[in-house]
């Protein structure tokens, strides 16, 4: 149980708050490349601040500045984009990528005045079809090239905006027991009442769970009923990647779950997957497929007949910012306690002007993350359930993904048969 102050410290993400300052040390995906196909600007909200993201017409360079113009606050999203920055639509003040004022056309030329006004600015770049931004202090760290975003395969990404604090979702990433209940027992109940077969792999009981701090966050392990410490679920595990991702996967699917803290009570939640089953064949893809997944029905009830819909019910029904003064953590919540401690320690590091965990300063090609290949000892069922009973059921390329995996299994089976 936390005090009101402790809960606020962990959940407020605005500028000047301890968590807000920590979170400003990381890069976030905030838009898709395709958002800029027909318009050069977009308003985005990140860490309780509004920003104008823009793309230059010729070089295709991305920039990000605070949305409201320092002159008299008109939105820069309705500005004119130049190769060297963005010009406010209202009176033409021009801002470069670092927020310096280059021109004030209706003013007498006055370098002093120009130098006195500065716009807040961040950094922006593209990876994996998404536009990533950094709005913290200089020098900006490298954008970490986590494996899922840069590996070869077919990419698929569902997104939704959820009305809850991002930490509720992060705490769920260090809560393995919910799988057998929410995605096992409850899913089975849904299936019985609605007449479908819920996946059996999720119903296995957890015999043992383990959490350990690692370079990128917290590695999570489990031994399930019928399994042992020799299974990938324990031997390899998968990490919560501090401070806003979880890496999952198995059965030829690799996924990064991304929780962008838009503000204290809003999270942009993405399931970014790469499909590359062993033996599978695919054509190079121009861009990842992005689509919205749904989580409330016409009556306003949560849609809980699929895996992520069940998670969303749990996250959002806790309230916009869950009241941690009323909770009762048990022994099975050891991961939650470890995560809060990690946040606390890293807020301290930032207050001492040190880099927090996961800060990358060296250029690199790829950062591999540990993740089970064999998930729950149920490869085929796991991959099918992931695609048809998760957020990917809303994907426009769902059938193509199922075919890709089915074809890979068929090839592997025929190869094994030929070798036998």
**Chain residues in the site for Fe ion (CB under 5 A):** 311
Is-contact 261 166, C-beta < 8 A?
A: yes
90-149 positions binding ligand FES, by CB under 6 A: 90-93
341 binds, among Fe ion, ligand FES, none (CB under 5 to 8 A by kind): none
74 binds, among ligand FES, Fe ion, none (CB under 5 to 8 A by kind): ligand FES
User: What SS3 state is found at 137?
Assistant: coil
72 binds, among Fe ion, ligand FES, none (CB under 5 to 8 A by kind): ligand FES
Size of the site for ligand FES (CB under 6 A): 9
72 lies in the binding site for ligand FES (CB under 6 A): yes
Classify residue 315 as exposed, middle or buried by CB count within 10 Å of its CB (0-12, 13-18, 19+).
buried
CA 153 – CA 119 distance, rounded (Å) = 40
CA 187 – CA 181 distance, rounded (Å) = 8
394 binds, among Fe ion, ligand FES, none (CB under 5 to 8 A by kind): none
Q: Give the one residue of 86, 88, 240, 241 binding ligand FES; rule: CB under 6 A.
A: 88
Does residue 376 come out as left (phi exceeding 0), alpha (psi in the -120 to 50 range) or beta? left
Tell me whether residue 75 or residue 359 sits nearer to ligand FES (CB atom). 75
Give, for 408, the enclosing helix (H) or strand (E). Answer: helix 398-419
State the nearest-atom distance from the C-beta of 168 to Fe ion, in Å. Answer: 12
State the nearest-atom distance from the C-beta of 62 to ligand FES, in Å. Answer: 21
CA atoms within 13 A on the CB side of 289: 18
Options 86-94, 193-201, 247-255, 412-420: segment touching ligand FES (CB under 6 A): 86-94
90 binds, among Fe ion, ligand FES, none (CB under 5 to 8 A by kind): ligand FES
User: What SS3 state is found at 224?
Assistant: strand
Options 42-50, 56-64, 65-73, 203-211: segment touching ligand FES (CB under 6 A): 65-73
State the nearest-atom distance from the C-beta of 67 to ligand FES, in Å. Answer: 11
191 binds, among Fe ion, ligand FES, none (CB under 5 to 8 A by kind): none
71 lies in the binding site for ligand FES (CB under 6 A): yes
**The dihedral sign for the CA sequence 348, 268, 291, 255:** positive
Residue 155 CB partners (closer than 8 Å, separation 6+): 128, 129, 272, 273, 274, 275, 285, 287, 288, 289
Site residues (CB under 6 A) for ligand FES? 69, 71-72, 74, 88, 90-93
């Amino acid at each position: 149980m936390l005090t009101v102050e402790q809960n606020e410290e962990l959940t407020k993400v605005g500028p000047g708050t301890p968590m807000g300052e920590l979170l400003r040390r990381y890069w976030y995906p905030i838009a898709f490349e395709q958002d800029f196909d027909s318009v050069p600007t977009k308003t985005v909200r990140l860490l309780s601040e509004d920003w104008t993201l823009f793309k230059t017409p010729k070089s295709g360079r991305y920039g990000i500045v605070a949305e409201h113009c320092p002159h008299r606050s008109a939105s820069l999203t309705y500005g004119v984009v130049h190769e060297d920055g963005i010009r406010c639509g209202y009176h033409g003040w021009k801002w470069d990528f670092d927020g310096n004022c280059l021109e004030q056309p209706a003013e007498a030329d006055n370098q002093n005045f120009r130098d006195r006004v500065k716009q807040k600015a961040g950094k922006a770049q593209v990876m994996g079809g998404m536009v990533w931004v950094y709005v913290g202090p200089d020098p900006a760290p490298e954008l970490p090239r986590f494996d899922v975003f840069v590996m070869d395969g077919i990419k698929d990404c569902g997104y939704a905006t959820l009305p809850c604090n991002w930490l509720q979702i992060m705490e769920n990433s260090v809560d393995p027991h919910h799988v057998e209940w929410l995605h096992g027992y409850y899913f089975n109940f849904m299936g019985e009442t609605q007449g479908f077969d819920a996946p059996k792999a999720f119903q296995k009981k957890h015999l043992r769970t383990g959490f350990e701090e690692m370079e990128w966050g917290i590695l999570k392990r489990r031994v399930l009923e019928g399994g042992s410490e020799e299974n990938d679920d324990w031997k390899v595990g998968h990490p919560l990647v501090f401070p806003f991702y979880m890496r999952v996967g198995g059965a030829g699917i690799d996924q990064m779950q991304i929780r962008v803290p838009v503000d204290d009570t809003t999270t942009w939640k993405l399931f970014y997957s790469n499909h590359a089953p062993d033996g599978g064949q695919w054509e190079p893809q121009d861009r990842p497929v992005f689509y919205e997944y749904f989580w409330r029905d016409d009556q306003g009830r949560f849609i809980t007949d699929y895996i992520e819909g069940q998670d969303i019910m749990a996250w959002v029904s806790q309230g916009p910012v869950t009241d941690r003064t009323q909770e009762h953590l048990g022994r099975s919540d050891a991961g939650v306690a470890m995560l809060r401690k990690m946040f606390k320690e890293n807020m301290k590091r930032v207050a001492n002007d040190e880099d927090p965990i996961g800060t990358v300063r060296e250029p690199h090609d790829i950062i591999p993350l540990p993740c089970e290949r064999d998930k729950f000892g149920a490869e085929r069922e796991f991959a099918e359930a992931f695609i048809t009973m998760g957020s990917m059921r809303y994907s426009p390329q769902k059938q193509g993904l199922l075919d890709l995996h089915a074809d890979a299994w068929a090839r592997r089976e025929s190869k094994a048969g030929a070798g036998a």
